[in-house]
Chains A and B, each alone.
Chain A
Amino acid sequence: MPPLKAVPLKVAGGGWLPWLAVGLLTAAAWGVAPFSLLGGLSLSLLVLTALKLREAKQRREHRLVCLLQLVTAGLLGAQRGDLGSSLLQGLAVVVALAGLLQLELGGVSNLASLLRRSGQLVLAALPMALALFLLFPRLGPFANLGGLGKFGAAATTGLSTTLEPGTIASLTQDRSPAARVAFPGGGPPPASQRLWRVLVHGQFDGQSWRSLNAASTETGNAGAGNAGPIAIGERDPEAIFGGSDADPNLGGRQPPGAKQVWLSEANGFAEVPWSGEGLPLDRHLKRDGQGQLRHDGAVGVRKLYSLAAEPATPAWRRQAPTAQDLQMTAGTNPRLEILAAGWRHQAPGGVNAADAAAGSRNAGGAKAVALAEAWFRQQGFRYSLNNPLLPKTAPLDALLFERRQGFCGHYASALSALMRAAGVPARVVSGYRGGTWVVPLGGSAFLDLRQSDAHAWSEVWIEGEGWRTVDPTLWVLGGATLGDPSSPAVRTAAAAANQAGPLDWIARQWWGLDLAWGEWWLGFDQRSQELLLQRLLGPYRDWAGALLVMAVALTLALGLAVYGWLRRRGEGDQLQQELNQLLRHCARNGLVPQPGESLSQFGGRLRQTRPLLGPELEDFVGLLQQLRYGRPGDCQRQVMARLRRCGQSLRRQLRRSRS
């Protein structure tokens, strides 16, 4: 009998795989709204996991850590469905399972085999997951997890509800994605029409423009279909948008090709750009009189919307101005007011604030805009992204008459203030302008909007016409449009977005994949599910059919599990399998145990014929006997792992000696 070597008791677990899983989960959780219900839950779970992993000593605790990691991955999956995060989540699951396997197999350090096994586990779970994804009923709160959070409306990135000259300067450097727009069956809109309204800033206190309280201006629910068409921004109605004021839920009345797929990134501000069509995602979307679409609650997850077209003159353009749109604290920017007062005299139809509130005519609006344009073009303003902060008192005076440099936010604020001072209702609108038209190798082309595409402009009320979009930044740039790469200022503004280096090319391919994934993953909502079931079940489209399918699937899964269990039992225990593997290799070398021979006798005989196998064979026999006949001890798993390694090495040597 070979000597039994003392097996060192290793600390259970302790590998780096669980830490890698934590890292991957952290990366996957990047950008989750920390104050939403689910986001907070998953982030705290992540922290908890890391802390538990730090102090875990026993095997039981390491198992718990792995379980926590899997739950976290699941929670993240409910919130972040974009391709990158999904891949990270999947990877984290594989790594976490590998960590668990390493633990259960007793410190096996062969990474490739660990990953292979855990990959097999994940693959085995995939059909079930897919079946659940396709067939599990989208029950109210669960299908709509992202909308649960009522907190976290605080603007961290992206557009801000308060526009104070200087706040968008940081946005232009921020290249994180804002939205992606696909136009099924249509090309990209011309650059001049790529203007995406997001926020309307109607409240001006002499320094900053604030967005109005959403609740006070809310006029209807987009989902109800009675609030008129859905506003999507400055688009050429003939080119892109058919005149559809249909209930968005009845997609059949829309002309084909007029449908947009809009994938909006989760970026922490409460308002999403536009309405969606799919159920039940747009339940939380509200539309107000200024044409803003509002999402009640933070948008913690990225969302996919199908958009309808808007008519030539949407309702919000005709919505008459209120006193709010003329409100201006007199004396905050005296030089600006003096300039505007001059324009008011030149524009004979100019009205004062009281008249506007009473709904009087202000036919002078168009004239005032023309005067302002002429003035802006004369002044020789400079477009610049880096501007010193403006003084607290009379900031717009400082901008227009001293500094004479700024970017869209500055000029839009100034123009709107000028218009108000001239007695013309005006407001500042922030949103996105331009975007990059991306044609990926696979998947459909789309327009990519980044935070660096953020822009601000003015809307001025012209009697008889409605709210007109006026972009003073264009005047400053001297006629060039923002999408025009010939303008040097624009080149700095749009930066590398329009210049496709190899890295950008790769990034765009990635975005294309991401969009396709998003369309598939996020687009599969309750309606798509119902459609699928209708197709699958034909006339039996009640949920009874789905329940039947689920019952059958469950029964099948249960049957498979029982079958697997029975088969595993029939194969004998792991030790016997290990021994049988070795015996098979021995038999191929013509070494067969005699009847009645004990393992150590056989081992001894083997050692005589193959002296090279000696020490490892001794180990193998000793370990196997220790496991099978010894007292059950603490380090069984470690012994088992050593036995496996021994067996592997012996088999390798036997194979080699045969060939």
Chain B
Amino acid sequence: MGTMNSPVQALIAAIGQVLLGKEHQVKLALACLLARGHLLLEDLPGTGKTSLAEALSRGFGLDFRRVSFTSDLLPADLTGLNVFDSQRSRFDFHPGPLFSQVLLADEINRASPRTQSALLEAMANGRVSVDGISHPLPEPFLVIATQNGLDQGGTAPLPESQLDRFLMRLHLGFPTREAERDLLQGQALQAAQLASELTAAHLQALQQQVQTIHTSPALLDYVLDLLARSRDSGRPGLPLSPRAGLALLAAARAWSLIAGRDHVLPEDVQAVLTPVCEHRLDGGQIRGEATLSSRLLGAAGGLR
């Protein structure tokens, strides 16, 4: 694969010591981060979602917070609120957990739609308004939301429009037998032990580098074909939005950067198609399988 982007590779290897046997998912999560997207992790509890989020943020030396979304969580619990300072007789803004570089929103589908939308608005705009005063969020800002299976009780599923805000939806899945053996033997590192030389400035440089990755006309044709096929009538699933197209391209760019290329290949698009598009195609209804996106791949046809 030519010259790998070595600091990125080192980071992937380091995170791989925390999350054993999950290299592919780690790379996808990293691609999501590099493409300035937000990540939706959907899996059972105890599969390493939190570890991944923490390892990613530590890898770039980012400020990391975790919020458990419960049904009684209010928007102000996230954003922070103005508190009256009686001594100085004025309101001071006390920033909430949203003001961190990496926010792990645990079990986002347990919170009320109002809270959800407050979070998603912050994700989209990069700023938070409290009592009419706008507060910018830190740079970079990544939300890693986890979601429990929809069959579990007491959940409010994310609407399609808000699913669309997440660049990727990932399933971590169970580890392989060998990886789990290593895990049981205690070979996995704690996320807190992760050592990395990278900083937020590195991350921003990489994010900028991602934007310069070349996409040839032939590749754009491929992406356009995929989008057009998703909009064919009679095809199961929702059509992909233009934002989905942008997301797909951004994620593919990040993926090819990780692979050490300066241009995007169709297989980069294919690699990120399922995490980027499956949740947009199924509207959050069908879980766990990549049937719709793989059907889309087959439909776009032609050897690329």
Contacts and interface: CB of A to CB of B under 8 A. Distances in A.
A629 B265 contact: yes
B219 A599 contact: no
B133 interface: no
Contacts of B2: 3-4
The main secondary structure of chain A at its interface with chain B is loop
A1 B267 contact: yes
Interface residues of B, number: 23
A583 B259 CA distance: 27
Contacts of B299: 595-596
Contact of A630 (B216, B259, B294, B298): B216
Contacts of A583: 303
B121 interface: no
A623 to B, nearest CB: 13
B219 A629 contact: yes
Interface string B77-96: 00000000000000000000
Nearest to B266: A598
B214 A595 contact: no
B304 interface: yes
A602 B267 CA distance: 11
Contacts of B301: 595-596
Given A625-B265, A630-B214, A598 B259 contact: no
A490 interface: no
A596 B298 CA distance: 4
A620 to B, nearest CB: 12
Contacts of B298: 594-596
Given A1-B259, A596-B298, A598-B270, A628 B303 contact: no
A257 interface: no
Given A593-B303, A597-B303, A598-B266, A628 B218 contact: yes
Contacts of B150: none
Q: Chain A interface: which size bin?
A: 20 to 34
A113 interface: no
A3 B260 CA distance: 11
Interface of A: 1, 3-4, 579, 583, 593-602, 625, 628-631
B301 to A, nearest CB: 6
Given A1-B259, A596-B298, A601 B267 contact: yes
Given A4-B2, A596-B298, A629 B263 contact: yes
A1 B303 contact: no
Given A1-B259, A596-B298, A629 B303 contact: no
Contacts of B282: none
Contacts of A602: 303
22 contacts: A1-B267, A3-B1, A4-B2, A593-B303, A595-B298, A595-B299, A596-B270, A596-B294, A596-B299, A596-B300, A596-B301, A597-B303, A599-B266, A599-B267, A602-B303, A625-B265, A628-B218, A628-B219, A629-B219, A630-B216, A630-B263, A631-B262
Interface of B: 1-2, 214-216, 218-219, 259, 262-267, 270, 294, 297-301, 303-304
A441 B64 CA distance: 100
Contact of A629 (B218, B259, B270, B297): B218
A415 B170 CA distance: 117
Nearest to B215: A629
A601 B262 CA distance: 20
Nearest to B295: A596
A587 B54 CA distance: 50
Nearest to A1: B1
A7 to B, nearest CB: 13
A600 B267 contact: yes
Contacts of A579: 303
A268 to B, nearest CB: 61
**9 A-B pairs with least C-beta separation:** A596-B297, A595-B298, A596-B298, A598-B267, A629-B216, A628-B218, A631-B214, A593-B303, A630-B263
A1 B256 CA distance: 11
B296 to A, nearest CB: 8
Given A599-B267, A631-B214, 4 more contacts: A595-B298, A595-B301, A598-B304, A629-B214
Nearest to B293: A596
A599 B267 CA distance: 8
A135 B303 CA distance: 51
B56 to A, nearest CB: 25
Contacts of B218: 628-629
Contacts of B267: 1, 598-601
Contacts of A4: 2
A303 B303 CA distance: 63
